[in-house]
Amino acid sequence: MKEEQFLQTADKVAKELVNFTRQENINEEFFLDIIEEKILPVEQFFADYACAIMEVETKFKVLNEQFSLKYDGNPIESIHSRIKDYDSIIRKLIRKNLPRTLKSIEENINDIAGVRVICSFVDDIYRLADCLLQQDDITLIRKKDYIKNPKPTGYRSLHLIVQVPIFVENEKRLVKVEVQLRTIAMDFWASLEHKLRYKKNISSEMLEKLAHELTDCAEISASLDSRMQNVRNLILSENNR
């Protein structure tokens, strides 16, 4: 809905600009130059991230196929990707007191392109991450293991910032992508917690109580993951006997 409203507004602004150019007899070439100078670089900038997402998604899809041949079943339940919206990017720049330029966004914001990989078991997360990082066109920029070291909120996931090459015409560009790997249980918790975090009109005492409750739920969910992993290990060892 937000995207639809944005497109309608953008369409209206574009039409007004064209009318203004005509009424004021502004040189059409000048108008097109401005578009070329201001709008196309932004479009190109975000297009690079969309391509990088495709590259990383394909790598995971290939790994998923390969793993399903070698092991028992597919390790990946689903993959969700997104380009961070412009509002969130600007808010992050302001929060970090950084300049609001494309160069600054490229250098300082690591999660413009995000790929979330939902796995069946915790072991799959580490196996997939290792396989991705072994590929010689992937460079690891940063790794944060919130599974071994959960956030105080209870949040768990493995975060990788990787750099991947994309090939456009005669040029190779290196683009950063944030990969979040988590189990179904971790994703279930994170999605609900994210929804609840933005609920308004809650007293501070209640907020504190709910934060404890959510951390507790994260523990329960982690213990479920660990039990499911044990069940899987037992089945695998039985099969190998």
* CA angle, residues 64, 65, 68, in degrees to nearest 5: 85
Instruction: Give, as ranges, the residues between 93 and 122 that touch ligand 0O2 (CB under 6 A).
Output: 110-111, 114
The residue type of 212 is H
- Cβ at position 4, least distance to ligand 0O2 in Å: 20
Q: What is the spatial distance between Cα 212 and Cα 217, in angstroms, rounded to a whole number?
A: 9
Q: Mask of contacts with ligand 0O2, 173-192, x by CB under 6 A? A: -----------------x--
Q: What is the DSSP letter of 120?
A: S
**C-alpha distances in Å from residue 145, one per residue of 5, 47, 109, 120, 142:** 38, 29, 19, 18, 10
d(CA 86, CA 105): 10
Length of the chain (residues):
241
127 touching ligand 0O2, by CB under 6 A: no
Q: Which of 159, 162, 181, 218 binds ligand 0O2 (CB under 6 A)?
A: 159
Collapsed DSSP state (helix, strand, coil) of residue 99: coil
Query: CA 215, 129, 127: angle at the middle one, nearest 5?
Result: 95
Write out the catalytic residue numbers. Answer: 178
Residue nearer to ligand 0O2 on the CB measure, 111 or 124: 111
Other Cβ atoms within 10 Å of 176 Cβ, number = 20
**Burial letters 16-36, b for 16+ CB under 10 A, else e:** eeeeebeeeeeeeeeeeeeee
DSSP 8-state code for residue 111: T
From the CB of 191, what's the least distance to ligand 0O2, in Å? 7
- Shortest CB 118 distance to ligand 0O2, Å: 13
Task: State the binding string over 25-54 for ligand 0O2 (x if CB under 6 A, else -).
Answer: ------------------------------
One residue of 21, 74, 139, 153 binding ligand 0O2 per CB under 6 A: 153
What character string, x for contact with ligand 0O2 (CB under 6 A) and - otherwise, covers 189-218?
A: -x--xx------------------------
CB of 111 to ligand 0O2, least distance (A): 5
Q: Which is nearer to ligand 0O2, 12 or 151 (CB)?
A: 151
Q: What is the total count of residues that contact ligand 0O2 (CB under 6 A)?
A: 11
Contact 115, 79 (CB under 8 A): yes
Residue 156 contacts residue 182 (beta carbons within 8 Å): yes
Rounded to a whole number of angstroms, the minimum distance from the CB of residue 189 to ligand 0O2 is 8
- Give the binding site for ligand 0O2 (CB under 6 A): 110-111, 114, 144, 151, 153, 155, 159, 190, 193-194
